[in-house]
Amino acid sequence: MNKVQIRHPWQTAGLILCAFILVSCGTPPATEQAIVLPASSPTGEVATNTPAPQGPAPSMENVIPRPVSVTPAGGTFFLTAGTGIYVDPGNDQLTAIGQYLADHLKPSTGFALLVQPAAGAPASGNIYLTLKGADAQLGAEGYRLTITPDLVTVAANQPAGLFYGIQTIRQLLPFAIDSSSVQSGPWAIGTGTIIDYPRFAWRGTMLDVSRHFFSIRDVIRYIDLLAYYKINRLHLHLSDDQGWRIQITKWPNLTLYGGSTEVGGGPGGYYSQDDYSYLVRYAQSRYITIVPEIDMPGHVTAALASYPELNCNGIAPQLFTGIDVGFSSLCINKDLTYDFLADVVAEIAALTPGPFFHIGGDEAQATSIPDYKNFVDRIQAIVQQDGKQAVGWEEIAQTKLLPGSIAQHWNPGEGFASQAVQQGNQVIMSPADLAYMDMKYTPDTQLGLDWAGDISVQKAYSWDPASQLAGVNESSILGVEAPLWSETLLTLNDIEYMAFPRILGYAEIGWTPQAGRDWNGYQLRLAAQGPRLEALGVNYFAAPGIPWPTK
């Protein structure tokens, strides 16, 4: 391993920042694996009714994100080999959700629970997922979970609510439920009622697959972990100076050449359009919307190196494997730039069912302000023509935003996001000094950067998105996103270490009403998640000071 010192210029905050990063070879390219979604039908034999085992259920108070309301009743429901999962008839989405639950319960219980249609509440001993009888108060993503000694019922207005109710059920079972091998049980769930719905519509995280490339296998593992905590947006940073990671059929060199390396000079990689579609579908099956980002007009060396004609002077720069920012720009006054972008946006938009397209827009120090404004006007129009809402880092709010465009606040030293609100647009909150998961936990953390300061687990949790920026309050906030930049991250293990456990806190900030959150209670709930993360094999940072039961 080489130890490399790199300068990170910081124009907007007026700071010069330094970072040490460890560089070695990168992750393998993604195109080779064929990953199969979980089986769509149960494979096991019909379960027989076994006598209910006895044993304690975990506290209902330990769910993360903390539900809106929890009312324990003091009894117990036992999941047994005879438990069936019943869903409303004639709805494929509900059958798939039921099967997802069965698939997740099978490895540790050894039970092959059957998913079956039911016109009404099933007999005693079963789980019932229904779109009937939910209150309007639950909205599109909320659920009501009712557990009696006889029945577990999740009622929601939309399938998403049932999916989130299932995540809660998983967390109400003993932590061994998350083990990948058969455990002895008993599988007890405390009785009571949970009423739950999210504070914000956007509960996201961003993964930078450009600075270092991560395989489809890595990303779907991450998606599965995000779903457990009810995160519903995965923003993929698909291009930057160091690498272009998504195939564009009309511009093949973007990936063939522009995707061929990464920070530190490793082999890079890219997603074929089939790979990307697979990821999108996989995320969809976990109620997660993929938000693709092509960063522009800066952060474009990989593109400029792949096509000389995109450069104002017609000369391609070298590929870039360092971590400086703010030095590259598309050629703003060339028509070809917009032909190129029209192709890129059209191809990605066609592969992306979600309504969002992220245009980057950050750190465009190599673009003049008038050029920047002109550029953002034109790219917003292109994105809208392809039927998507533009999302951009908050610098885009210096320009006239189209209705529906969204600004992402990241720079604690700037107030651009409030300009978006003044224009009637919404904001996603990702303040770097609180929400950047690539910041070190402590000065001793080996991975990560620290230009925005260290972010302890407590600091990551203890902020309210609605009291960060003057003029940006609850109603103008679409939600919260925790970005994970990958300058120093080479493997899935690295991703997990920086994201976990901080991301549980971000999930709760996005979901739970502010009045329902406090650090003292959260610490205890987080501690109780430790054994779950271990059962899931997550390489999390066991932050000192948290009362982890197993440490």
Q: Please, which residue, 127 or 482, has the CB nearer to ligand TNX?
A: 482
309 is catalytic: no
Interface with ligand TNX in residues 46-105 (CB under 6 A): none
Give the residue with the Cβ less far from ligand TNX, 228 or 436: 436
Of 262, 347, 363, 496, which one is the catalytic site residue? 363
- Based on the shown chain and the rule CB under 6 A, indicate whether residue 393 belongs to the binding site for ligand TNX: yes
User: In this complex, which beta carbon is closest to ligand TNX, that of residue 196 or of residue 487?
Assistant: 487
Q: Which of residues 433-472 bind ligand TNX (CB under 6 A)?
A: 436, 438, 449
Please name the amino acid found at residue 20.
F
Which residue number, 151 or 435, has a Cβ lying nearer to ligand TNX? 435
Q: Which is nearer to ligand TNX, 174 or 259 (CB)?
A: 259
Helices (H), 152-272: 159-172, 216-228, 253-256
Please work out the total of residues on this chain that contact ligand TNX, with binding judged by CB under 6 A. 11
Cα–Cα nearest to 548, from 532, 527, 531, 520: 527
Residue 434: φ, ψ to 5°: -125, -30
Helix, strand or coil, per DSSP, at residue 178: helix
CA-nearest of 332, 346, 254 to 292 is 346
User: Quick one: 6 or 346, whose CB is closer to ligand TNX?
Assistant: 6
Q: What is the DSSP string of 396-419?
A: GGGSPPPTT-EEEE--TT--HHHH
Q: Is 375 in the site for ligand TNX (CB under 6 A)?
A: no
Structure tokens at 455: 């972010």
> Of the candidates 111, 143, 278, 410, which one interacts with ligand TNX according to CB under 6 A?
410
d(CA 73, CA 314): 72
Cα 467 from Cα 431, distance rounded (Å): 12
What is the closest distance, in whole angstroms, from the C-beta atom of residue 293 to ligand TNX in the complex?
10
- Which one of the spans 21-29, 226-234, 328-336, 431-439 is the region binding ligand TNX (CB under 6 A)? 431-439
Enumerate residues 6+ apart whose C-beta is below 8 A from 155.
130, 131, 132, 133, 134, 143, 144, 146
Beta bridge partners of 236: 207, 292
Residue 347 vs 487, nearer CB to ligand TNX: 487
The contact pattern for ligand TNX, residues 309-328, with x = CB under 6 A and - = no contact, is ----------------x---
Residues 436 and 452: their CA atoms lie apart, in Å, by 8
Smallest distance, ligand TNX to C-beta of residue 181, A: 38
Nearest-approach distance from CB 436 to ligand TNX, in angstroms: 6
How large is the C-alpha radius of gyration of the chain? 24
CB of 308 to ligand TNX, least distance (A): 24
CB of 448 to ligand TNX, least distance (A): 9
Q: How far is the CB of 430 from ligand TNX (least distance, A)?
A: 8
Query: Rounded to the nearest whole angstrom, what is the least distance from the CB of residue 42 to ligand TNX in the complex?
Result: 44
Interatomic CA distance for residues 226 and 529, integer angstroms: 14
| Inter-residue long-range contacts of 88-96, CB under 8 Å, 24+ positions, other chains counted | 88/117, 88/118, 88/119, 88/129, 88/130, 88/131, 88/132, 89/117, 89/118, 89/119, 90/117, 91/131, 91/159, 93/159, 94/129, 94/131, 94/159, 94/162, 96/40, 96/285
Between 322 and 361, how does the x/- string for binding to ligand TNX read (CB under 6 A)? ---x------------------------------------
The three state secondary structure string of 248-263 is CCCCCHHHHCCCCCCH
Binding to ligand TNX (CB under 6 A) within 473-512 occurs at 485, 487
416 binds ligand TNX (CB under 6 A): no
Query: DSSP 3-state assignment of 391?
Result: strand
Minimum Å gap between C-beta 305 and ligand TNX is 18
User: Which is closer to ligand TNX, CB of 99 or CB of 239?
Assistant: 239
Q: What is the binding site for ligand TNX (CB under 6 A)?
A: 325, 362-363, 393, 410, 432, 436, 438, 449, 485, 487
Q: Which residues are catalytic?
A: 363
